[in-house]
Amino acid sequence: MPDALSITASAIDPGLLALPWSTTLADWPKRDIVYLPKGISRHLVRFANLSGHVVAIKETTEEMARREYEMLGNLHRLAVPCVERVAVIAGRTDATGEPLPAALVTAHLRFSLPYRALFTQVLRPDTATRLVDALAVLLVRLHNVGFFWGDVSLSNTLFRRDAGAFAAYLVDAETGELHETGLTAGQRAYDLEIARTNIAGEIMDLEAGGRLERGVDAVEIADGIMSAYHSLWAALTDQETFAANEAWRITERVQRLNDLGFDIGEMSIQATPDGTRVSIQPKVVDAGHHQRRLIRLTGLDVEENQARRLLNDLDEYRARAGRRGEDEEMVAHEWLSRVFEPIVRAIPFDLRAKLEPAEVFHQMLEHRWYMSQAQGRSVPLAEALTSYIDEVLRHRRDEATIMGPPTETVTIPVVGADQLEADADDEEAIDWRDLV
């Protein structure tokens, strides 16, 4: 390790010292590299093995690395979905003493994928819409805490499955600015226009490469973020006026926001001098309504839509068991031990890297519903679980972080085809199965 090497981290992992920082990232030996699909980046980014975990390493200037490291820390404290910072490595030099770029190290987000890895041959319009909708939700959450991104794109985002939808996570924060007083309408509009332009370019790039389904309009897909964003932003921030005897409208507004996955931390309520009309406007809106309720009841930390689905199953369990009048936390503990955990434990060990437990649970319930519809009967849970494992889960590729082999190839399971070997350093060469 060079004497001038400087490591900035909230908790130093001794494994950082063992990585070959005196070698440019492009020339790192295969033993240190993990081969995973990655998005498009203006900087060189590679995945590495750090003490049994996977980290992403990006070479950049020391100033940009430190700035992004601090920004990711601030966003994490604000509970914004983003990758977790690990360290900044500065003062790098090669064997001859020549300076090397600084490096930003972030933790790889388990079960996440770049958008180009979420389809095989072509991007279908429904998949594109769900990706854009997820990015719109992320942008609203960022703007809600006063963060101006400045480079909104699908490429700067990672996606995790969320009960039939996607959850989006910010990956690249180097152009971002955090404003404590909030963003102006102009700043939000500019960020949104950047998003629209970048998404259109990314979709057109897929179209030029023959990876966009015929008849799909790239501009129309990009325009979708505008409507999705404006609709959600209005639901979170618009002032609403109603008659004084319609107080139920307050409860309705709160319920509508809860359904969107948000909690109201503060609300401004103003009555007119004659008391005939009332105006309300949310002042502090926090995301993760269902996530927080599920954590409180069960300790499970999952995505928002997954939490909503698990809570629905918990509510159905209470109804079936005739337990509606009993303590909610006691029933939740019973549901966790009798329903959720047995299903998770029933997944064969060699299949547990396929999907997150909450996503497996959601998909198994979907599979059971379709089986029941097709057979005209209520399919028992055990029968549905066996069918799901053998007919669906076993044929999916792993989406957790799996250490790649120390060679140039990686083996990828594909339904209905023999295992393919592709150059793992070239994501375009990988024939990913369409899973959406």
| pLDDT tens column, 75-94 | 999 999 999 999 999 999 99
Strands 420-423 and 409-412: antiparallel
Strands 53-60 and 102-107: antiparallel
CATH tag, 6-108: 3.30.200
Q: What is the pLDDT of residues 175-201, one digit of tens each?
A: 999 999 999 999 999 999 999 999 999
**CATH 1.10.510 occupies which residues in the chain?**
113-237
Q: What pLDDT was estimated at residue 3?
A: 57
Please check the confidence at residue 428 and state whether its pLDDT lies above 70.
no
Which token pair is 183?
Answer: 């963003």
Please check the confidence at residue 402 and state whether its pLDDT lies above 80.
no
Q: What pLDDT was estimated at residue 2?
A: 52
E strands, 260-400, in order: 262-271, 277-287
Which token pair is 233?
Answer: 């932003």
- Contact call for residues 257 and 282 (beta carbons, < 8 A): yes
Type of residue at 192: L
Q: What pLDDT was estimated at residue 38?
A: 65
In this prediction, residues 105-114 reach a mean pLDDT of: 90
In this prediction, residues 370-379 reach a mean pLDDT of: 92
**Run of H or E including 161:** strand 157-162
**CATH 3.30.200 occupies which residues in the chain?**
6-108
- Contact call for residues 272 and 256 (beta carbons, < 8 A): no
Q: What is the pLDDT of residues 216-248, one digit of tens each?
A: 889 999 999 999 999 999 999 998 888 888 888
Name the percent of the chain in helix, strand, coil, to the closest 5: 45, 20, 35
Is pTM beyond 0.85? Reply is no
- CATH value of 113-237 in 2.60.120, 1.20.120, 1.10.510, 1.10.10: 1.10.510
